[in-house]
Amino acid sequence: MEKIVILTGAGISAESGLGTFRDEGGLWAQHRIEDVATPEGFARDPALVHRFYNARRVQAAKAKSNAAHAALARLQMDFPGEVVIVTQNVDSLHESGGAEHVIHMHGTLAGAFCPACNHRWASPPEMAVGEPCPACGAATARPDVVWFGEMPYYMDAIYDHLAEATLFAAIGTSGQVYPAAAFVHEALQSGARTVELNLEPSTGASSFDEVILGPATETVPSWVDGLLSPR
Ligand code: OAD
């Protein structure tokens, strides 16, 4: 059976109005990673970190999924094999576009997490410093997102999927953040064909068998059409 493993990044949500991280004017041009996306930054100034994620939660709640998200949902539904979507994105646009079983390796804005007892719950629209964990009462609640220096979620399951992949696609990701940036090498070792769909060649574009350039809302639906058309 064929198995397609798809890794997505901020570029797939760009045309839904959500800013990427490293494009001109992107989130990391406006905020210091050390301040808002590390455990040390949260320990130093939790109010600043909550403000950053509260704003992203508001923005993500307003965003609508686009034709690229919908095309991947269609692929998951109609492909006569398995289609696994792994996303680095913390928005829920794959799900609102109709996808099921999305692996959120960098967590999700929709979740809150208590580092004291590992309890997880649905985040309120706005999180505040000192909010008590509903399970243990500790006042250390944080967004359920993965920060730099932390291990992404579901890594064992992802590596198992990559070991079985017959096709690996990376969509809308700059290939600068590990371990996701190394998935293409895992897939190649498994004998998978590899394809990148991005606005411009990513840092690791030379590792892919094929590179398709253009906006995701155009390239992804036509790539999916090709995979679903009878061979
Ligand atoms: P980046 O901002 O690093 O890269 C986004 C990529 O999408 C770039 O290569 C753009 O060229 C491409 N792109 C932009 N608009 C596009 C469009 N309309 N269609 C197709 N491609 C487009 O975002 P990620 O690679 O997702 O992690 O970043 C990876 C991780 O770094 C994030 O998950 C986040 C960040 O720091 C954490 O916070 C832990």
pLDDT value of position 207: 97
Q: Read off the pLDDT of each residue in 123-136 and give the average, rounded to a whole number.
A: 94
Q: Are 99 and 20 in contact (CB under 8 A)?
A: no
DSSP H helices, the chain, are: 27-30, 33-36, 39-44, 46-62, 67-78, 93-96, 155-164, 183-189, 216-228
Binding site membership of 199 for ligand 1 (Cβ less than 6 Å): yes
Q: Ligand 1 pocket check: which of 33, 153, 198 to mutate, most ligand atoms within 8 Å of Cβ?
A: 198
- CA distance linking residue 158 with residue 154, whole number of Å: 6
What is the separation, in whole angstroms, between the first and last Cα of the chain? 15
DSSP β-ladder status, 3-8 and 82-87: parallel
Distance separating alpha carbons of residues 6 and 162, to the nearest angstrom: 10
Q: Mean pLDDT across the chain, nearest whole number?
A: 96
φ, ψ of residue 122 in degrees (nearest 5): -70, 130
Q: Closest Cα to atom 15, ligand 1: which residue?
A: 11
Per-residue model confidence as pLDDT tens digits over 19-45: 999 988 899 999 999 999 999 999 999
Task: Find the mean pLDDT for residues 156-167.
Answer: 98
Which residues are within 8 A (CB) of 45 and not within 5 positions of it... i.e. 6 or more apart?
Answer: 35
Whether ligand 1 lies within 6 angstroms of the CB of 200 is answered as yes
Say how far apart CA 62 and CA 78 lie, in whole Å. Answer: 28
* Residue whose entry in the numeric block shows the structure tokens 């991947």: 72
* Lookup: tokens for 96: 């609102």
Task: Quick: pLDDT tens for 212-227.
Answer: 999 999 999 999 999 9
pLDDT at 231 > cutoff 80: no
- Classify residue 121 by burial, with Cβ atoms within 10 Å: 0-12, 13-18, 19+: middle
- Cα–Cα distance, 34 to 72 (Å, whole number): 33
- Mean pLDDT of all residues in 182-207: 97
pLDDT score of 230: 80
User: Taking the model in full, what pTM does it have?
Assistant: 0.97
**What pLDDT sits at residue 69?**
98
Q: Are 76 and 100 in contact (CB under 8 A)?
A: yes
